[in-house]
Structures are given as C-alpha cells and as structure tokens.
A and B are shown apart, each in its own frame.
Chain A
Amino acid sequence: MKKKILAAILVLTMVVGLTACGKKAATDTGAKDDSGSGLIKVGIINNDPNESGYRTANDKDLKAMFTKENGYDASFAYSLKNDEQITAAQKFIQDGVDYLLLSAADTAGWDSVLKDAQEQGVRVILFDRTIDADDSLYEASIVSDMDKEGAQAVEWLAKQELDEVNVIHLQGVMGTAAQKGRSGALDEKVAAEDNWNIVTQQTAEWNAEKAQQIVQSVIDKGDKFNVIYAENDDMAKGAVAALDKANISHGVGKDVIIIGFDCNKWALEELKAGNWNYDGQCNPFQASYIDEIIKKLEAGEKLSEKVVVMEEKGFDATEITDDDVNTYGI
C-alpha cells in the first residue's frame, strides 16, 4: 500500500513538474478579474507551442501583443486536443472574457460552446484555423491560404523556365490543411505540363530524418531529379543533407532547386546563402491582425470582411535581404 502511494506521488510530482515547466503559460489562466481597470479581457486558446517552430512563433507573437501595456488582460490555454480546448473555452466564457481567440485543434464540435459565448456576449475571433460552424457564431477568421501558398511556389518554379522539371515531392502529414494546399498546386501543374514529372512523391511526415532517407533512396536508385519540393523547411533540410552526402550541388545556379515552406529563420539564412532557392511563408504573425479587428469592434465599427486572409510572401534566394530574414524569419 505504502509503495502504491509512493508511486502515485512520484508520478504526480513528475506530471505536476511537467505542466509547471513545459507549459508555464497554461497556469496563467487564473488571471484575476480586473475588468474595472479598463483592460480588454481576452482568452486565447491555442495549440501546444511545442508542436512546431511555426506554433512557437505564433505563440510568441500573441504573447507580445496581448500585454497590459497594450491594454489587454490575456489568459492563455494550450492543447492539441479538441475536447480540452472546448473545456478551456467554457472556462473563459464563465470567467467573463470580452474576446475569445481560438485556434481550434479540430474543425468539428464547436457549435454549442460558441453559442454559449454569443449568449454571454463574448465575441469570438478565429485565427490560423477555421472551424465547421455557422459564421454568425464568430466575428472574424484570420487564416492562411495554403492553396495560395502552394500556387505561389509553383508559379515561382514555373518562372525558372527549366527544360525539364523532375521533382522529388516531400509531403507533410497526409490530410493536413497545409499538406493538401501545398500538394494540390503542384499536382495540378504536373498533370498539366508535359515536361513536369514527379520522380517520387512520398510523405516524410514533416520529419527531416524521413525526408533524408527518402531522398537518399532516390539517389541510391540513380534516378534523375532537379527539384526538391518539400512542404516544410525541416524536410527540405533533410533532403539537403542527403544531397550533400552525395555531392549533388543545390541552390542558386546549381543542379538541384530547393523549395521549402514556413520561413524558419534558419531556412531564410540558407536562402540568403544561396543554398536553397525558394521559401514560402506561412504567416504566424496574426496578432496584429487580431488587434486591429478588436480595435475596430471596440470602436463600434463594422468589419468589411469576415474572413481575413493574411498576406503571405514567397522568398526568392536571389532577392532576399537581411531585413527580410530578420522580419519574416520565425
């Protein structure tokens, strides 16, 4: 019996320790009610910042924007699970936040809780992810257009006017919005053009190691290729590692064109060094858009559009500047 209790305590300490250190922000939720102080109370529900560099940058951006200095009283809750997010949303509504900012883990299941929010006069703004709910339930939705990101990259590639485009296509986790959007544009183009071929199309599941093994396998097989289209920076990095090993040159003016996505700072640095050719942005900096919308709503203005598509850039290695690297690198 003693042992069991001890074990339980040990596990508990571990878990508590973890939540305390790993997700420090999750404990911030109990912010006091200081609605009298003139601050705008916002509850922010996001995915786990450890999920990716993108999410880390996103979380940082939000944290920098929603501060007391900027007139906000913000509470954060993180989870990759929809049900936990919904619970957090209910809590925020009970706490009487003015705005609920939501990046939903899953598209479904949000109707009832958003209706509650509406009844309580809590205004909802979606960011980064959309949900399957009636658009009357939220004020605005700030999203990336993944299809457009893919299309921009493919358009850029087409402009390089290669005689033949033989692509190694490294896909993200199948079925994710980013994968679908970024794959779609390329698939269309390959189907349409005679001189565009897919050498191999594999999911490396956003994973550099898997990407390296896939590209390694193509090299070992001896197939010819001149473009690597990786749906995120990590996979592009993995591919490049395999190329380096086999002494296949890559980058500006070299044998293989490298395309990545997400604009990690280190990736943009590679671009700047000419080792890669193109990187498509997936803009994590939504805080300023949200801030703008809240300001408008507070001033009683009407929003011109419900869905706000963020501006997203694509960077060409030959044109990128140090400023770009610092501004857009995440």
Chain B
Amino acid sequence: MGNTKKKEAGFLSKIVRQQLFIPIAALLILAVFNLIADPSFFKITMGASSTGDPVLSGYLITILDYGSELAILAIGMTLVTAASGGQDISVGAAIAIAGSVILRVLCGTNSRPEELQTSVFVAFIAACLVAMLFGAFNGILVAHFKIQPMVATLILYTAGRSIAAWINNNELPIISEPTFGYYGGFIPGIPIPTPFFIAVICVVITALVLKFTNLGLYTQAVGINEKSSRLNGLNPVFIKFLSFVILGLCVAVVGLIKVSRFSTINYSVIAKDIEMDAILAVALGGNALSGGKFNMAASILGAYVIQFLTTTLYKFDVQSDALPAYKAVVVIILVVLSAPSVRAKLSQVGKKLHAKEVA
C-alpha cells in the first residue's frame, strides 16, 4: 500500500517538476475561475461577419486571435532570453517599424492608394529584412559590445516609433484593398481567425528548426555557460546575435498581423506594451529570465495564458489601464515562486507532506 502511494507521490512530484506544469496550472486556474464565475465564458457561437462570411466568435476565439500574436513573439523572445540572459524591450517599437514598412511598400508615396503598389508578399519580405536589421542592431550591441539587453534595446524602444513615423513621412496610410485585412482578420469561408493559422505556421517552422538544427542546443549552451561554450567551439557572440535576428523575424510577422487588423497604423500606440506580455509569456512558461535552458512549447502556451488572463480581465470590466497592475501581480507570484530560496522551502514542505503521507 505504502509503496503505491509512494509511487503516486513520485508521479505527482514528477508532474510538478515538468516545466509545462506552470503554464498548464495557470491555465487551469483561470479556466476554473471562469467556469465558476460565468460558464458562458466558454460559449462559442457561429455567426457571420458583415461581409457575410462565417466566423466563430466568443471569448475563446478572442484568446486564440490575440494570443497568437503573443505566441509568435514569445518564440523569438524565448531564444533571446535563453541566449543572452536578458530581454528585448523594443519589440513593440520594432513592430511599429515593421508595420510602417509594410504600408510604405504597399502604398508607395500615396497614402491613400486606389490599388496596391506591390503584392503583400513583397511588402512582408521588406518588413522582414528591416525588422531583422533592427534585430541585428540590438544583437550587435548585446553580443559584441556586451551591453545589458534591456539597456541596449532601450535605444530602439525610445526611438522606434519615431522611426516608424518617419518611414511614412508622418502620414497615416490607409489600405482600402479588402484582402489585406485577411491576415489580421478572417479569410472568407474560414471561421477561425487567420492569426491563429499564422501562429501555427510559425510554431511548426520553429519546431522543425529546433529538430533539424542545433539552434536549441547551442542557444542553451551559450546561455548557461558562455566561456565553456566557446571552449567547445561555439561562437557565443554569433549565437546571441542570431537570436535577436530571429526575434526580428517574429516581429515582422506580428507587424503584418497588426497593420492588417485595421489596414492602417497608429505609430504611437500600435503594439503598445506588447513587450511586457511577451516577456511575461516566457516567464510564465517557466523559463528562467536569466537565460539558459528553455522550453519553447511552454513559452507558447504561456502566451495564450497571458491572453486568457487579459481577456478574463476585460470580461469582468476591469479598467484597461489597470490591466498592467494585475499582470504585475502575476509577475510577482512567478518571480517569488521561482526564487531559489522559495523553491527550496517548497520542496521541503513537499517532502514533509510526502513523508507524512507515507507514514
């Protein structure tokens, strides 16, 4: 009897030790809370949009929609965090730049084009290049000049939105072409928001890259022990640099979704504070913000959990300018829980409980 119980407890502690446990537990807590407070939270209805196309709606769909942007960013942010042991706080500003580039390429010099100057694909590629360039700028500061990531990216954080405005000469281009709205909305006939599909594509690509290259191993090795990685033939400077460039790519994708949502841009508020959510997603995924080992799946799940939290707060009419305060509480809980001293205490308590049970 005692033996089986021991096994159970062992199993339980094994689960608890799994990294995915943290975001899953957070998700469950939120879900249960909503279930008790108002089960209609989980209602999904099939409706039609104003253009007559079928769309699913409901809180869960909203979460899927906006969470996907965060999930894409979380991919890049996880790599940056793992490799450099710091975070990029300029992603919001970089999204503004990427979005501005897309509109600029699509519209040319005319801010109200009757038709698009080029295909969206070309504009997107241009945005990718520009965003990766800015990622490279951050990467050089961090990897080569060894500036603290938060400090290094503070430059772009401050300047990015002005650059974005400058790209379009302070004009606010508007795209009337309806197909441009598909990326941030719905593709006619498909009732699930497009950002979700984009996120799925990004996740699949990431999974493939992690499987068929050594990106994961190298990034973690550099993040854990830079000196030792170098002595094993790795180039820590390049790996860190690379992580910022990859984040730049993620930024460009999110930039496309963001400008597609309204077919226009507002430089000062687009993707505002999104960096905090992206960093929070990484943390909620149980990844150490000081770098090293990472779990990509946990980060991505973390992103959706953050959006779950945001949407829940909206549902309960929490003032939207108070949202950061609630998120701050989550951060505090996470940070406290991941502090080594608290962990040691918790595992002690766990052992005691376990011992009692066995006895």
Contacts and interface: CB of A to CB of B under 8 A. Distances in A.
A57 to B, nearest CB: 10
A202 B145 CA distance: 44
A15 B310 CA distance: 35
A207 B319 CA distance: 14
Contacts of B140: 10
Interface stretch (A118-126, A208-216, A297-305, A313-321): A208-216
A1 B112 CA distance: 50
Contacts of B155: 11, 14-15
B320 A247 contact: no
Interface string A213-236: 110110111100000000000100
A: interface residue count bin:
35 or more
A136 to B, nearest CB: 36
Contacts of A204: 320
B19 interface: no
B49 A244 contact: yes
B147 A266 contact: no
B267 A212 contact: no
Contacts of A241: 185, 261-262
Contacts of B52: 247
A6 B145 contact: yes
Interface string A241-265: 1011111110000000000000010
A245 B40 contact: no
Contact of A234 (B51, B57, B269, B319): B269
Interface in B32-49: 40, 47-49
B317 interface: yes
Contact of A220 (B59, B145, B146, B310): B59
Contacts of B314: 213-214, 216-217
A246 B57 contact: yes
Interface in B311-354: 311, 314-315, 317, 319-321
B321 A174 contact: yes
Interface stretch (A18-26, A65-73, A104-112, A159-167): A18-26
- Lowest 3 CB-CB distances: which A-B pairs, in order? A22-B162, A7-B145, A217-B314
Interface of A: 3-4, 6-7, 10-11, 14-15, 18, 21-23, 48-53, 56, 173-174, 200, 202-210, 212-214, 216-217, 219-222, 234, 237-238, 241, 243-249, 264, 266
13 contacts: A14-B159, A49-B170, A173-B321, A206-B269, A208-B261, A208-B262, A213-B314, A214-B314, A217-B315, A241-B262, A244-B49, A245-B185, A247-B50
Given A50-B165, A220-B59, A245-B49, 6 more contacts: A4-B145, A21-B166, A49-B170, A207-B266, A208-B266, A220-B315
